[in-house]
A and B are shown apart, each in its own frame.
Chain A
C-alpha cells in the first residue's frame, strides 16, 4: 500500500491552519455539555495532542460520544468553548470547519440505492460550490480514499449489499475524502466481529501514521484502545479521570476507578502494550461483598 492521500498540513483545504499559536489544534475548556436540560458533563477540559491517535474510553453514558460531538461542533456546549486552531469553533464558518475536521458519527444512514463511489463522493461536499461541482480533483481524492481503505474494487457496488466491515471502511473512505487533518470517529468498531474490528483499527492506525493526521476515536474495547492509541482519555461521569500515554494511564487502579471492574493489567504478548484481564468471577464477588 504505497498510495497515501496527499495532503499538506498547511495547504489549501485546511482552512485555518497556521492561525493558532503553540497549543493543540483542537481543545475544549470548561465545557458544559447537555441535552436539553440533562447535563452530561460540567467543567470539562480536554486537549487533543496534534498528530496523535487519541482514544476516548469510559463506561456507557459517561459522556464520551457527547464530548466527541462537541469537539466536532455538532453539539453546541451550554458553556465553555471548543477551540479549533485557537478560535472558538462555533464562530467559524461551517464549511471552513468541515475542511479542517471530519466526523464519522455512529448513526449515519446510507441512502437506499447509493453506490460506494457515490457515498464516498459525498465526502467532497465541503470542497464543492454551486458553480464548481464535480471536479477532477474530487475524482482523484475519491479514488485515493477508496484505495486507501481498500474499497476501490467495490466502487460500483451498492452500499446496502456490503458486509458490516466493508461498509465501515466505505464510511471511513467518505470521511477521508473530506481531506481533513483532523478526523473524529464515534465507535467505529461497534457491531463488527473481531476480525473486522482489527481490520478497521489497523486501517485507522495506518491512516494516522501515513499522513500525519490527528485521529480521535471513541472505543469500547480497552485492549484495542491500549494497543492502538498514542494518547488515551479516560472518562467517568462527565469528567476526565486520566489522560496520557496508554502505558501510563491504563493501570489496574484506573480501570477499577473508571469502570468499577477489578482486573489485572499485564503486557500484551504481541505488542507489549497494557492488556486488561478482568478478574475471575469469584474474586469480583468477594471484592463487592
Chain B
C-alpha cells in the first residue's frame, strides 16, 4: 500500500485551511456589518461623517450628537445586528436539525406562531411591549406544540418538517383572520409589523434579544456546533461517537425557537434571513457542516446591509427592512435553485 509518505500539513488537521477560511469569512462579515452600522448611524436628517459617528460612539461627541447617535440611531442598528445574527443562527440550526436546506423557521411555522401571538395583541389593542411579549409567547407555544406533535420516541427531521408545514398553513389562516378582525389603524400597524421593520426601535426593544444572544450564542456556538456537525452524518453514527443526539436536539431546538421569537419580537418576522444566511455562509466558507459562526456573522451583515438599503434606496421614504430582505433573499433563492438545476443537482 502506498500511503506511508509524509503528507502535506495543509491537507490534514480536520481541514485547518477550511477552518481558517471559516474564521476569515466570519470576521469579514462582522467587519462589513460594523461598516454598515456606522454608515446607517451617519445617515438621516442630521448627516454625520463616519469618523464623527465612531468618535461619538466612543464617547467624544457633542451633546446633540450624543443624543442623536445613542438615543435615536444606535438602538436601530444594534437591533438590526442582533436580529440578523439571531435569525441566521436559528436558521442554520434548523436547517441542520431537519437535514433540509429549506428548513428555516419561516417555513416550519415558528415565525407564523410569533406573528399570531403579536397579531392577537394588536387586535385586542395592546401596546408595543405587549406586542413583543405576544410574539415571544406565540413563537414559544408554537415551538412546544410542533415539538410535541413531531415527537415519536425521539425527534426526527422529516416529522418536524411535515408538522411544521402543517402548522404554517393553519397559522397563516389564523393570522389572516386576525387581520380582518382588527380595525383599520390596527390592521395597518399589524401589516407593518408583519413585514418586518426596524423603524423607531429603542433600547428597550433590543435588551431582551441582547440578553438571549449573550446566553444562547455561546451555548450554541461553543457547546453544540461540533456535536451538531457529527449528527449531520446520521443518528446512529453520532450515537456511536458518543453524541447524545436527542438531548442535543432538544437544547438546539429550544435555543433556535427562543432566538427566532425574540428576533420577531424586536423587528417583526423579517423574512428570508434565516433561510439565506446559512447558504451564503456555506458558499463563502466552502466548508461542510453547519458553519454556525460564519452564518451568524453573515446574518448580521445581511440585515444591517438590508436596513441601510431600506433607508437609502428612496430618498425621503423608508422601506420596511423586511421588503428588502424578502426581495434580496427570494431573488437569491431563485438564483440558487436555477444554478443548481443547471449543475444538474435538482
Contacts and interface: CB of A to CB of B under 8 A. Distances in A.
B232 A152 contact: no
A118 interface: yes
A117 B286 CA distance: 15
A112 B12 CA distance: 18
Interface residues of B, number: 39
A126 B242 contact: yes
A1 interface: yes
Interface in B206-238: 222-223, 226-227, 229-230, 232-237
A145 to B, nearest CB: 10
A73 interface: yes
Given A108-B234, A117-B11, A147 B3 contact: yes
A36 interface: yes
B224 to A, nearest CB: 11
B15 interface: yes
A242 B216 CA distance: 53
B14 A121 contact: yes
Contacts of A105: 234, 236-237, 240
A113 B234 contact: no
Contacts of A98: 240-242
B1 interface: yes
A188 B66 CA distance: 67
A125 B234 contact: no
B191 to A, nearest CB: 39
A184 B13 CA distance: 26
Interface in B266-290: 282, 286-289
Nearest to B237: A108
B234 A109 contact: yes
Interface string B231-267: 0111111011111100000000000000000000000
Nearest to A160: B288
Contacts of A69: 236
Contact of B7 (A110, A112, A143, A178): A143
B2 interface: yes
Contacts, number: 125
Contacts of B58: none
A125 B12 contact: no
Contacts of B288: 111-114, 118
B7 A152 contact: yes
B59 interface: no
Given A122-B229, A130-B222, A134-B13, A94 B243 contact: yes
Nearest to B16: A134
A161 interface: no
B236 A107 contact: yes
B153 to A, nearest CB: 7
Contacts of B18: 115, 118
B242 A94 contact: yes
A47 interface: no
A48 B1 CA distance: 31
Interface in B73-100: none
A150 interface: yes
Contact of A103 (B7, B230, B240): B240
13 contacts: A1-B1, A94-B242, A103-B237, A113-B282, A113-B288, A121-B12, A130-B223, A134-B13, A138-B14, A143-B7, A150-B1, A155-B11, A156-B10
Ranked 10 nearest A-B pairs via Cβ = A152-B3, A98-B242, A103-B240, A111-B288, A121-B14, A105-B236, A114-B288, A156-B11, A126-B242, A95-B242
